[in-house]
Amino acid sequence: MAVSVILKTLNEEARIGAAIESVLAALDGIGGEVIVADGGSRDRTLAVATSYPIQVVQLEPTIRPSCGIGPQLGFQYSREPFICLMDGDMLLDPGFLPEALAYLSTHPRAAGVTGHVEEMNDTSLEYVRRGRRVSPENRIGTIDRMNGGGLYRREAVEQAGYLSDRNLHGYEEFDLGLRLRAQGWTLHRLDRRFVRHFGHAINAYALLLRRWKSGYLRGIGEVLRAALGKPQWPRLVEELPELKLWGVVYFWLAAMVALPFVLPSPVIALAIDLALIVGIVGVMSLRQKSLSLGLYAVVAWLFHAAALPLGFIQARKAPGAWIESRVVNEGS
């Protein structure tokens, strides 16, 4: 029942030490290994990580990091029959692994089990909004993906081909869930804490810009491209409510652009456009019970909608191919 715990990192010097210590404590009495899979940190992340008796691996400088490449990097070095995936800015709950292992033992067709990701950052609008909505981050019971990580069965992952698609800058957990469920496996969330997450304590709009630059927002387009022509395509289209939302956003933007050309008065058209913007922000503000959250939600829609086609046309590499990397620390 030993576990390989994979910690994904990129410039996490402030948190990685505590994350490693939480994992080592959780593995006491269970057994296994800890693998820090680093995406090319430029701070002291590696210096801190290598001070512990764990394995540390890092992407070669020529390989660009992504959300999908980190988990697969750790997976290709892992050995144990169970894989626990988490970020380098998370603290693993000490009681999670025993309960998760017990669940997998009694549910042989369960590919993975997770718990709640407790967001410790209550200042960013992004994390406040995430905590308020009913989403894959907080449903319990049978789920379609394990956002934030969790405990996976190696047998199931190998049957699905690979842990994480290296080409994806987002939605990598959903892609894995699709592939696992296509093979007849299930995923489950326990009604207990998995980790505490210390997310980016920066302005939500700055975080949105960072995610645009890093390619994170292209994830939904990339996962659509990855599934194109494959058996999971119909299920993906059916299960991603974001697709309907982006469709509405595209229609809204097209209507705003068209109005000045179809109405006799450009002034009236622009007034209607402004009224549409104010009305949509107002509706979202009422739903979120906050003007700032409502405005942020609409701005985030526009960023995501613009990024989707860019992700869809992105070139792909073989997702299961060996990732060029180096071993920084062998561990014990």
187 contacts 177 by C-beta, under 8 angstroms: yes
pLDDT tens, position by position, 288-307: 888 988 999 999 999 999 99
Q: Within a 10 A sphere around the Cβ of 255, how many other Cβ atoms?
A: 13
* Domain coordinates in residue numbering, the chain: 3-235+317-329, 240-312
User: CA 5 to CA 28: how far, in whole Å?
Assistant: 13
DSSP 306-329: HHHHHHHT-----TTSPPPEEEEE
pLDDT block averages, 10 residues each, the chain of length 332? 96 96 96 96 96 97 91 97 97 97 98 94 59 62 94 97 95 95 96 90 83 91 93 89 90 93 90 93 90 91 94 92 95 74
pLDDT tens, position by position, 20-71: 999 999 999 999 999 999 999 999 999 999 999 999 999 999 888 899 999 9
CATH number corresponding to 3-235+317-329: 3.90.550.10
118 contacts 89 by C-beta, under 8 angstroms: no
User: CA 201 to CA 207: how far, in whole Å?
Assistant: 9
pTM: 0.88
CA angle 216, 219, 220 (to 5 degrees): 140
Q: What residue has token string 């292209």? A: 218
